[in-house]
Structure 1
């Protein structure tokens, strides 16, 4: 891998030149507490030290709402809507969000690639940036706190600039075309990089082994946590909308007023909404709020075989943006036994039979 240094005095000039490679998006502060990825006119408004954005970067590749085709009933024909996607640059992704995109790639770029997603991934340039965790971050437990790939460039903070890792041929072209803005990496830069990474690692709130979590979730299907926490849930779907790896969508035909023509759209869906498990005939595979609540925890902690990690990257968005104040990580730690009252004595005799509840509970039966 190639390494170069971007001095602090050249940072804004570098950001300005990124616009030559496509429309520039980066994190900006949109309120007292919140940040989001927005199109950048003034590069000095870019936030380098933020913890999380409201919307994950998946929104640039998997649109919240998009038109798939137009149709005419009388003509019995449809016309595909082909969007002209121009190159664009997303600056400031944290490692966990880069892993989020890698997970999305395993879904939408598998043996049957989603062409809408694929064209945007091909046009997008990813530039990552290092960060310091807050109390909501647990990406270290998910092994997503340091990205080896999935980016064109990745910037690591130094006292007087940024150590830059070059990850792709596109990243090499960006550096080569702006080579005068960069310097060679010195021994002191390496020491500073090592110190920053050590400090970052020590700043995480939790340092535990979560390797058996997905099995304990299956075994603990009757843990009282499910009743207690699902009762608090508003069923709003905010956790899904802010999650960097939730990938469910709904497809709808929207007719025009003429009753003949219309469009087919797809839009983000949420497993926390009652309509998500509803099928023809009126049957609902997850009819209760508790069954939907449990489904999300099982889904997010399932194992992605292609990447060897869970579908949760530990960004903390679902907790930070939950209007009901539900802590995803605290609930998982309860199942793992790290929180108090995680396994009361009166439950110990029920452990053998709880293991057989998995198949029926995941279908929403008897909940």
Structure 2
């Protein structure tokens, strides 16, 4: 991997140079939350944000999208070849996209997701964890791939890691904006990463987690929290790795229809409803417990389905904490 330095005074020029790659989407503050929105200038970007409510996956696997339209007795696929730059993506969300890649780019690949991934430039940026983050214990607090460029904050600029051919092209074409990395820059980089590592307040114990979940299926802790849970599906909607969806056909009239895909949630009662009226997760307890098994059960070939971003904790209206639930489940084993 190659490293260069972006001095602070060249940041705006760097931002402007990205516009040739597509529309730029970056985190901005909207009320009490952060959200990825289209921006036109570097001054609009919140560089020191914590987390957005909806993760960057919304650009690839959209909350609601039209797959096909029935027009003149033919199903037509809407064209979507727009190029984009996602600027300021945190490491945990980059890992989240990598998990989605395993699902949507596996054979046969999802054409809508694949096209958007190919047309999108990923610019990562370093962050300082808050009280909700537990990505360090899952190994997702640092990204080694899955990005084109990654910016690490220095006192007078950014240390830039180049992670793709497109990243090399950006640096090559804008060589006047970048400097070589000095020993002093590396010392500051090391200092920042050590400070960041010590800032984590939450940790999920991984030792024997899969065995614990096998043994604790009937733990009373699941029932305790299922009764608190509102079954609203908020945690699914904001999760960077949830990928369930449903497809519906909406008829406008006898000759026009729209086939739509939209997010679905395993917390919704009708999610488990199948032909014949059977529901394989009929109770809130079944659905609550399932989510923890889906996110926290370790698959040797794929790892965890959780990246420790903390969204499910911050945006849960019942204030249920993911790590706390697992700690109590572990403690309930005799």
Matches within 5 A, 1:112-127: 112-127=108-123
Q: Does 1:62 align with 2:56?
A: no
Q: Does 1:194 align with 2:190?
A: yes
Q: CA separation in 2, counterparts of 1:275 and 1:247?
A: 16
Partner of 2:295: 300
Task: Return the offset for 1:45.
Answer: 1.4
Partner of 1:363: none
Q: CA separation in 1, counterparts of 2:74 and 2:198?
A: 57
Equivalent residues of 1:277, 1:286 under 8 A apart: yes
Q: Any gaps of 5 or more consecutive residues in structure 1?
A: 337-341, 349-367
Matches within 5 A, 1:29-68: 29-31=29-31, 33-68=32-67
Q: Does 1:326 align with 2:313?
A: no
Q: Any gaps of 5 or more consecutive residues in structure 2?
A: none
Q: Which runs of 4+ in 1 moved over 6 A?
A: none
Secondary structure at the counterpart of residue 205 of structure 1: coil
Task: Return the offset for 1:304.
Answer: 4.5
What RMSD in Å do the two structures reach over aligned CA positions?
1.5
Q: 1:15 to 1:300 in 2, by over 3 A?
A: same
Q: 1:82 to 1:304 in 2, by over 3 A?
A: farther
Q: CA separation in 2, counterparts of 1:313 and 1:277?
A: 25
Q: 1:89 to 1:305 in 2, by over 3 A?
A: farther
TM-score if structure 1 supplies the norm length? 0.88
Equivalent residues of 1:21, 1:88 under 8 A apart: yes
Task: Return the offset for 1:298.
Answer: 0.6
Task: Return the offset for 1:247.
Answer: 0.2
Q: CA separation in 2, counterparts of 1:320 and 1:98?
A: 19
Q: 1:315 to 1:265 in 2, by over 3 A?
A: same
After superposition, the C-alpha distances for 1:117-169 in whole angstroms (9 at most, x for unaligned) are: 00000000001001111110000111101111000000011111100000001
Equivalent residues of 1:253, 1:264 under 8 A apart: yes
Secondary structure at the counterpart of residue 280 of structure 2: coil
Q: CA separation in 2, counterparts of 1:326 and 1:56?
A: 20
Q: CA separation in 1, counterparts of 2:142 and 2:168?
A: 20
Equivalent residues of 2:222, 2:329 under 8 A apart: no
Q: Does 1:20 align with 2:20?
A: yes
Partner of 1:183: 179
| Aligned pairs, number | 334
Structure 2 counterpart of 1:140, from 136, 145, 168: 136
Task: Return the offset for 1:333.
Answer: 2.0
Secondary structure at the counterpart of residue 46 of structure 2: coil
Q: CA separation in 1, counterparts of 2:24 and 2:88?
A: 11
Secondary structure at the counterpart of residue 140 of structure 1: helix
Task: Return the offset for 1:302.
Answer: 2.9
Q: 1:82 to 1:305 in 2, by over 3 A?
A: farther
Matches within 5 A, 1:1-367: 1-31=1-31, 33-71=32-70, 78-207=74-203, 209-256=205-252, 258-307=253-302, 309-336=303-330, 342-343=331-332, 348=334
Q: CA separation in 2, counterparts of 1:8 and 1:335?
A: 47
Equivalent residues of 2:204, 2:323 under 8 A apart: no
Equivalent residues of 2:238, 2:312 under 8 A apart: yes
Q: CA separation in 1, counterparts of 2:133 and 2:197?
A: 11
**More moved, 258-267 vs 286-295:** 258-267
Task: Return the offset for 1:21.
Answer: 1.1
After superposition, the C-alpha distances for 1:63-112 in whole angstroms (9 at most, x for unaligned) are: 1111122237xx8x541313232111000111100000000000000121
